[in-house]
Amino acid sequence: MAHKSSYYCPCCKNHISQFVPWPAGFFEPQSFKLENWNPKTGICSICMAMDRERLYVWFMERETDLVRANVSVLHIDPEKNVKNRLDTCSNLQYVCGDLKPLDPWTKGIDVTNLYYEDQSFDVVLCSHILENILDDGKAMRELYRVMKVGGWGIMQVPLATNIKMSFEDERVVTPEDRTRAYGHQDHVRVYAKEDYIQRLESVGFRVELYNIAEKYSIEETHKLGLSKEDNLYIVHKDA
């Protein structure tokens, strides 16, 4: 039986007895074997941080100078708990954008047609967006264009390790069919791991994988409600 405070949420900094599972039907990955999918430990019981938000905040605080450096950040469709953390960083020039902004602090932007000049941002965060976009290459080229040389970003997607090529079919258009095919009504594909990396590399990014279990330990990973299959896809724009 787990100890009273066996788990830890990097977003709210609380030690907790358990994480809450993702609601049934939230995402149905069919036969895909996914990275970054922790159905039993999906959500923090206190701050509601998703598993991926906990990994982002962990990475940003321990492996980057984001919370201290004077840098500009573009955050596409910002995850609430990551935004809350970055909002506390007065060192940042922090811009949030979404196709359909839900609050006045988020700008209305189309990731396939960004209105920012080339090399506008040191850091670009774009997670769980590209799988919703038919022309994901156009979005990737835009994200690369607005990133400064020497900049970096986090780019996450639903990603399967048991398929060779990304699974997508433009004839699959209804919410029901998309749920059946890809696991979610808004998605237009499930990425294959190597193909996803190649797509990012094809627009110019250098891709680096960050695996918390390899860097620290499986015990430390489980404490955050994460697993050894969780990877961050860190992109770099080299000179």
- Does residue number 11 form part of the binding site for Zn ion (CB under 5 A)? yes
Q: Rule CB under 5 A: say whether 44 interacts with Zn ion.
A: yes
- Contact status: 50 vs Zn ion (CB under 5 A): no
Does residue 57 interact with Zn ion by CB under 5 A? no
Q: How far apart are CA 74 and CA 17, in angstroms?
A: 34
Q: Pick from 7, 36, 43, 49: which binds Zn ion (CB under 5 A)?
A: 49
3 vs 100, which CB is nearer to Zn ion? 3
Identity of the residue, 132 or 227, whose beta carbon is nearer to Zn ion in the bound complex: 227
Q: Is 20 in the site for Zn ion (CB under 5 A)?
A: no
Distance CA 200, CA 181 (A): 23
CA distance 119 to 151: 9
Q: Which among 79, 82, 140, 149 has a CA at the least distance from the CA of 114?
A: 140
Whole-number Å distance between alpha carbons of 204 and 118: 14
Q: Does 67 bind Zn ion (CB under 5 A)?
A: no
The one segment of 45-53, 68-76, 94-102, 144-152 that binds Zn ion by CB under 5 A: 45-53
The residue behind tokens 């990275």 is: 35
The verdict on 9 binding Zn ion (CB under 5 A) reads yes
* Closer to Zn ion by Cβ: residue 46 or 213: 46
Are the CB atoms for 212 and 221 separated by under 8 Å? yes
Residue 46 binds to Zn ion (criterion: CB under 5 A): yes
Task: Assign 3-state DSSP to the chain and report helix, strand, coil percentages, each to 5.
Answer: 30, 25, 50
Interface residues toward Zn ion, by CB under 5 A: 9, 11-12, 44, 46-47, 49
